Structure 1
Amino acid sequence: MFERCHTPHEIARLLRHRYGLPVQLLAGRPMIVTGSVLGAVVMPTELGRAVLGTLDRTFTAPVVADPGERTWTFLVAPPSPAQPMDIAVRRYLSEHQVVVLPGGRQVLLPTTDSPLGWHWAGEPAPGVLRMPPRSAVINAVHQVTGTRLPTP
């Protein structure tokens, strides 16, 4: 996918036009900022694979893998209206090494198709950006881990 891109600006343009991502460049790196348009949920790769498999039945989930695939970052639709996450749910997620990034955090985007760099673990569908709701990813973590989600 990135074989025709020779500069960070070309990569950013490709990500904007192909997927509708609100890409910015920071020090020559394409990235997005979490907030009212999109959110991010970060988890270990093994858990991410199982969560992606669960979501694939219902949602297309854009997922960014870091170099070496230590973590996967799910791009999600934030709750509307914006609402803080219950502390018990945050604690539950942290027990599984899952972090819901707060607004204003930077998420690096793929620049290569190689697993040696930032790459897609779950490539978004071309066109208008579609992301699963944050709650769908959290529920998938619950399904995969087989543990009960705390009730607020």
Structure 2
Amino acid sequence: MFERCRTPHDIAHLLRDRFGLPVQLLAGRPMITTGSILGALVMPPELGRKVLATLDRTFTAPVVADPGERTWTFLVTPPSPATAVEIAVRRSLAGHHVTVVPAGRNVLLPSTDSTLGWHWAGEPVPGLLRMPPRSAVISAVHQVTGMRAPTP
């Protein structure tokens, strides 16, 4: 996918045009900022594979893998209106090493097709940016781990 990109600007342009991602460059690296347009959840790749397989039945899920595949970052739609994830839910997710990324944080995007760099574990569908709701990814984590969603 990135074979024709020669500069970080080429990569940012490709990600914007192909997937509709609101890409910015920070120190020459393509990234997005979580907030009103999109959110993110980070988890171990073993869990991420199961969650992605569960979501594939219903949603397209863009997923970024870090170099060495230590973490997978799911790009999600933020809730509307913006609501915080309850403490009990955060604790249950933390038990499986899942983090809900707060608003205002930078998420690095793929800049190579190689697993030696930031790359897609789940490539978005070209066109209008489509992401699963944050709640759908959290529900998928609960489903594949056998966790019960905490009750208020």
| Fold match (TM-score > 0.5) | yes
Distance 1:4 1:27 in 2: 21
Shift of residue 57 of structure 1? 0.2
Shift of residue 109 of structure 1? 0.1
Aligned-partner SS, 2:68: coil
User: Could you tell me which residue of structure 2 aligns to residue 151 of structure 1?
Assistant: 151
Distance 1:73 1:85 in 2: 17
User: Could you tell me which residue of structure 2 aligns to residue 97 of structure 1?
Assistant: 97
| Runs of 4+ that moved beyond 4 A | none
Q: Normalising by the residue count of structure 1, what TM-score does the alignment of the two structures yield?
A: 0.99
Shift of residue 84 of structure 1? 1.2
User: Could you tell me which residue of structure 2 aligns to residue 65 of structure 1?
Assistant: 65
Distance 2:30 2:147 in 1: 36
CA RMSD of aligned residues (A): 0.4
Q: How many residues align?
A: 152
User: Could you tell me which residue of structure 1 aligns to residue 86 of structure 2?
Assistant: 86
User: Could you tell me which residue of structure 2 aligns to residue 48 of structure 1?
Assistant: 48
- Equivalent residue runs for 1:28-39 within 5 Å: 28-39=28-39
Aligned-partner SS, 2:92: helix
Q: Residue 2 in 1 paired to residue 2 in 2? A: yes
Q: Normalising by the residue count of structure 2, what TM-score does the alignment of the two structures yield?
A: 0.99
Shift of residue 75 of structure 1? 0.1
| Unmatched tracts of structure 1, length 5 or more | none
Distance 2:84 2:116 in 1: 35
Shift of residue 151 of structure 1? 1.3
| Unmatched tracts of structure 2, length 5 or more | none
